[in-house]
Amino acid sequence: MKKTVLFLSILGLLSACQVKVQQETDSPLIGKNLLTLSSDIMSPEVLWSFGRLGDVQVSPDGQLILYGVSYYSIEQNRSNRELFVMNSDGSEKVQLTETPQNEFNAIWHPDGEQIIYISSASGSLQAWLMGIDGSGKTLISDVEGGITGLVFSPDGTKVLYTQEVQVDKTTQNLHPDLQKTDGRVINDLMYRHWNTWEDGAYSHVFIADFDGTISDGTDLMPGEAFDSPMKPFGGLEEVAWTPDSRGIAYTCKKLGGVEYTFSTDSDIYLYDLESGLTSNLTEGMPGYDRVPFFSPDGSKLYWHSMERAGYEADKERLFEMDLANGEKRYLTPDFDYSPFGESWADEGENLYFVCAVNSEHQIFKMNVKTTEITALTEGMHDYHSAVPAGDRLIATRVDMSKPQEIYSVDPSTGEATELSFENKHLLDQLTMPRVEKRWVTTVDNKQMLVWAIYPPHFDKSKKYPAVMFATGGPQGVLGQFWSYRWNMSQMASNDYVVIAPARRGVSSHGQLWTDQVSKDNSGLAMQDLLSAIDDISAEPFVDQERLGCVGASFGGFSVNWLAGNHEGRFKAFISHCGVFQEEMMYFTTEEMFFQHWETGGAPWEKDNPVAMNSYAGSPHHFVKNWDTPIMFMQGEHDYRIPYTQGMAAFNTAQMLGIPSRMLFFPSETHFVLSPQNGILWQREFKGWLDQWLME
């Protein structure tokens, strides 16, 4: 590379008691926060000043790494994303963009000599082109309505792009004289997703020629009221070009109404550019089929498949299809875990992928012919991606004490070398908590992993209050994650011993362990949590009279349930967006398959013993036992667990005379994403625990 990295001007973001800003604060741009800290203990303000690195793209020749970093301004209450490039050995980093807009979906042109990205600099989301040093930025698309994602064909002559397309009529279409109404006319399910209402627009994939510019393309699903990529969280990993640039595989759940909301049955479709015909390659496979990719020679299709329709946490099985005869092969029947992020090596002989095993995400290699799988890395960290670059792998990695950075990994030894050092300037000034892996015996004599996170400057001769983090899900990996809300290091930096049990339902400990929580939400999973807190509270450095329990989503359910069943163990609770009344949750959540699977049936199925047992375990049945201070946190735009669940729980605590508080965010969803709301969340979180556990 030709230049050193350029740093943007610094905004006055943080409180004077915690930091001193080193540069001028009048810039309209948000840039890297070069801060001198007045304390070596991390605060919420420091947490929100870390650069958030992601979307790493290795150049076709493996010599360069393209990536983006988001910077947050607490003062402006927003973020800004910039693009960077560096050599694959980590040298000569160059900042490519420096604008008030967010630049995203940055990719390499197949020739490796140009970079294409999406920006709103022209007024709508369009594609831009620039040189690998950031020079010559040029608007190259003029697509009506803008674009949301872009992928080049392997030969560079075409692009596929994604765009929101209005298919269903809006209220204004139905009542043209009421153009200012905000009313919604709803005739069918589902009408909202996790955090957005259905507006009649659907994400579609388009194809267009590329001769230096991109014009309006051909819709692969004209008039179809389906999404590809799938809502709410699908991305460009759900779309793939054939190696010969003659076809596009895409993921879609082509169902409607009640059937759509009760099923996870998506399929992989193949669109042929020459004929314009679409074929369903996975018809008859009932669960999620998604994330298609092809062998380098184009003869085979690979994808992720879940066996059970309606179960979003089923094992991600890796499948292969011979495109000549349609024959399918299940590649991972003896691997009881879920791979993701596959990339090819050795001309298609081997696949690299990332997978969580025992709550740690590691890099693996599979010989596709023999299906032999080998772990390449080990340790207390979570790899998020790994892509070959010559004889090395370029990977992203995170742990509970460090946000995501880019690493170079030797596949022969697993040795990792950090390359990006995006947050070194802050981490060098901080004393981060120590993380330890513990194993706890459960009530049925199973071994459960529990993460223990100790405060900075931990002194085992002292006694500390302890806080148990009840994870969400109820499925999902409880790994070495770094969060900007449920941040284990931030919690421990408040001078608490923190424990995070990988209780029943947590993924990566075998599918049987994952499955057990379903239809038994208030059963062994709750006993696992109690086993974990009893284990840590037996330590001489933990004060048994100062124990707290916190959690979000299913963790909020866990807190609400434990509040009526903890038998005096805890002195304070915090429940974020947790289920309180199971029957009402069934009737008001958005993806009905989720609650139907977890409870085992509908509330009116009185002759269904599984469902009736689930509803009998609803937290609201145990409020007569509530006697402990409890705080609730809710976002108004949370449609997975509607905010009325938290209101009902708070109202109940108030009527029972239980010390209680509610922190309500009218602009947030199931998550808390804006800087100032995030800071408020952290301050109220700490304040509530300190009030009941520190005083």
For residue 279, give the nearest of 293, 288, 268, 290 by alpha carbon: 268
CA distance 563 to 555: 12
Neighbours of 358 (CB within 10 A): 14
**Whether the Cβ atoms of residue 630 and residue 600 lie closer than 8 Å to each other:** no
Residue of 553, 614, 618, 674 with catalytic role: 553
Clarify whether 670 is annotated catalytic: yes
**Whether the Cβ atoms of residue 117 and residue 107 lie closer than 8 Å to each other:** yes
The two tokens of residue 189 are 């399910």
State the residue for tokens 């379903």: 518
Angle, in degrees to the nearest 10, between helices 554-562 and 524-537: 70
Clarify whether 228 is annotated catalytic: no
C-alpha torsion sign, points 379, 366, 516, 669: positive
For residue 581, give the nearest of 539, 623, 625, 636 by alpha carbon: 623
Residue of 509, 576, 620, 670 with catalytic role: 670
The runs of H, that is alpha helices, within 516-637 are 524-537, 554-562, 582-588, 592-599, 609-616
For residue 542, give the nearest of 501, 497, 488, 573 by alpha carbon: 497
Cis peptide bond N-terminal to 110, omega within 30: no
The two tokens of residue 156 are 């560079």
CA distance 492 to 536: 14
CA distance 313 to 516: 12
β-bridge partners, 267: 252
Contacts (Cβ under 8 Å, ≥6 apart) of 608: 600, 601, 602
Longest pairwise C-alpha distance within the chain:
74
β-bridge partners, 500: 451
Amino acid occupying residue 450: V
Q: What is the 3-state secondary structure (H, E, C) of 159-172?
A: EEEEEEEECCCCHH
Three-class DSSP category at 338: coil
The two tokens of residue 629 are 């201070």
Residue of 88, 361, 638, 674 with catalytic role: 638
The runs of H, that is alpha helices, within 195-345 are 257-261
CA distance 168 to 461: 66
Q: How far is CA 330 from the centre of its chain?
A: 27
**Rg of the chain over CA atoms, in angstroms?**
25
C-alpha torsion sign, points 317, 318, 323, 325: negative
Angle, in degrees to the nearest 10, between helices 609-616 and 592-599: 100
Q: How far is CA 233 from the centre of its chain?
A: 8
Cis peptide bond N-terminal to 631, omega within 30: no
Give the 3-state secondary structure percentages of the chain, helix then strand then coil, rounded to 5: 15, 35, 50
**How is 441-507 classified by DSSP, letter by letter?**
E-TTS-EEEEEEEEPTT--TTS-EEEEEEE--SSSB---S---SSS-HHHHHHTT-EEEEE--TTBT
Give catalytic residues, as residue numbers.
Answer: 553, 638, 670
